Amino acid sequence: MSFINVSFLQDVRKKAQAIQKQNTAPRVMSRGGYEYLEKKLMDEKRKKKLEEATQSGSTDTVIDPPSPIKRHLKWKLARTKKTGDMTSEAAKEIPDKIVSHFQFIIEIIFFYCVIEYRINVFFAGCA
């Protein structure tokens, strides 16, 4: 005796498959997901900082905690296969766009700082 309608389950499955087919940048991660990925990256950063501190030879320095992992880096690593290839062509293009946006923002900030410095120097010379 079956309480579940089989045709209902098939409809649900087909709907899920149609949704998954629209995903142009699938992620490839273990069961831990983003939490495990972030923990692994933070452990690597912590280990690297500890190694740098021991190589410098100073024992009295306080080791600061590593900075948080950037979202775009986690996104990119979640879509990178073990071979180093991205999961799809769309997944290759998106990180490049993110990096170009970051570079553009940095250029704008630098330009703004240069303009502000020149204004301050000009008005300091007038006084």
What digits encode the pLDDT tens for the residues 56-77?
Answer: 776 666 677 888 888 888 888 8
* pLDDT tier for residue 44 given thresholds of 50, 70 and 90: very high
> How far apart are alpha carbons 20 and 23 in whole angstroms?
5
* pLDDT tier for residue 1 given thresholds of 50, 70 and 90: very low
> How far apart are alpha carbons 73 and 125 in whole angstroms?
45
3 versus 33: the higher-pLDDT residue is 33
> How far apart are alpha carbons 19 and 126 in whole angstroms?
65
Query: Which SS3 state, helix, strand or coil, does residue 127 take?
Result: coil
**Residue 25 per-residue DSSP state:** S
Instruction: Identify the pLDDT of residue 104.
Output: 87
Q: Is the pLDDT of residue 124 over 60?
A: yes
Instruction: Identify the pLDDT of residue 58.
Output: 65
Q: DSSP letter string over 27-69?
A: ----TTHHHHHHHHHHHHHHHHHHHHHHHH--SS---PPPPPP
Answer whether 81's CB lies under 8 Å from 87's CB: yes
